[in-house]
């Protein structure tokens, strides 16, 4: 247990305490890489789903995710499943509601604009979270954060304006709503660090399942192809990917988590380009490059700072 405790405070810029710490750190890095790459294939899944009914997609994908995450949490909690769910409190349920709204906005964004636009918008989550944490939690906003937020905001603005010109403004706004929703969730988690907020994922997926069922209870038919893809997406990519992320986040500092998450935002558009032939526009690439570069530079700066202290994570995945 002492070795694991040491590993949890070991970051890329810090000196490892012992060989066991090094081993756990390397496992965490590998898990973050696999997790980010797995979830980056979500865009390919969406583009291969035949139905255009997002409520059906939300229903079957969220149900698969609900089953997967419930099994994982039940195994992890060892008989305290409902107790842990109860302990998240009112704020946890509010966070779950906000996350469910963000999850629906995420689906709408993926089906209304390009995967590149959606993921590049989501890459601004760290900065939106920092701004909300400053307003709500009164956390200090560092000068470097403020500068990089300005650059990231400029990149997002470029994509929003371009979306207005090519008719994908609605999808871009939904992607931005997703980012804001997830940032609010991250702030709630940071405000309640003493509580295991993992059960929020059950609340989120549960709300999505119920909402989608109410919206489409009279027609639940879906092709075998779409059903299998929804199960793969919900239980496989999102379920396993988020589980790996949660485990890895215990052993990495916030800046490292941010850098590895950029794999998801950066490779997602590449997969849909290679496997589906969806090519992002010039200004989408420009705006997305500005946002991702700002995030990467900020994360690298934090890594150098983390040599002397561990940065609080507060990093979260986009809605399940």
pLDDT tens figures, 205-223? 999 999 999 999 998 999 9
Considering only residues 124 and 49, tell me which one the structure prediction assigns the higher pLDDT: 49
| Cβ pair 89, 195 in contact under 8 A | yes
Instruction: Quote the mean pLDDT of the chain.
Output: 81
In this structure, how many other beta carbons lie within 10 angstroms of the beta carbon of residue 86?
11
The least confident of 94-98, 160-164, 190-194, 290-294 is 160-164
Q: Which of 183, 164, 169 lies closest to 123 in space, CA to CA?
A: 183
Buried/exposed code over 178-209 (b: 16+ C-beta within 10 A; e: otherwise):
bbbbbbbbbbbbbbbeebbbbbbbbbbbbbbb
pTM for this prediction: 0.79
Q: Is 277 left (phi over 0), alpha (psi -120 to 50) or beta?
A: left
Give CA separation, 25 vs 10, 17, 188, 241, in Å: 7, 11, 27, 18
| pLDDT at residue 65 in the model | 94
Every domain of the chain and the residues it spans = 2-305
Kindly report, residue by residue over 181-206, the tens digit of the pLDDT: 988 888 887 787 666 767 888 999 99
């Amino acid at each position: 247990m002492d070795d694991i405790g040491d590993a949890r405070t070991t970051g890329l810029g810090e000196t490892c305490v012992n060989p066991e710490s090094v081993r756990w750190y390397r496992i965490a890095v590998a898990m973050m890489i696999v997790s980010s790459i797995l979830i980056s294939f979500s865009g390919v899944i969406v583009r291969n789903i035949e139905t255009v009914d997002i409520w059906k997609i939300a229903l079957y994908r969220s149900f698969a995710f609900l089953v997967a995450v419930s099994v994982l949490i039940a195994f992890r909690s060892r008989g305290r499943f409902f107790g842990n769910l109860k302990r998240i409190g009112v704020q946890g349920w509010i966070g779950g509601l906000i996350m469910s709204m963000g999850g629906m906005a995420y689906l709408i964004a993926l089906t209304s604009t390009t995967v590149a636009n959606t993921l590049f918008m989501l890459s601004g989550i760290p900065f939106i979270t920092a701004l909300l944490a400053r307003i709500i939690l009164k956390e200090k906003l560092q000068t470097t954060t403020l500068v990089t937020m300005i650059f990231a905001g400029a990149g997002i603005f470029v994509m929003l304006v371009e979306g207005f010109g090519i008719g994908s403004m609605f999808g871009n706004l939904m992607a931005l709503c997703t980012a804001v929703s997830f940032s609010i969730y991250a702030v709630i988690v940071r405000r309640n660090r003493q509580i295991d907020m993992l059960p929020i994922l059950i609340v989120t997926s549960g709300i999505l399942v119920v909402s989608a069922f109410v919206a489409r209870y009279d027609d639940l038919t879906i092709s075998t192809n779409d059903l299998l893809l929804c199960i793969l997406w919900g239980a496989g990519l999102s379920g396993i990917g988020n589980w790996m992320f949660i485990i890895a986040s215990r052993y990495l500092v916030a800046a490292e988590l941010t850098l590895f998450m950029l794999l998801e935002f950066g490779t997602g558009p590449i997969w849909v380009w290679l496997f589906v032939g969806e090519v992002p526009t010039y200004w989408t690439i420009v705006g997305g490059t500005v946002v991702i570069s700002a995030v990467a530079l900020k994360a690298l700066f934090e890594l150098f700072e983390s040599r002397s202290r561990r940065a609080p994570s507060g990093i979260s995945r986009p809605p399940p």
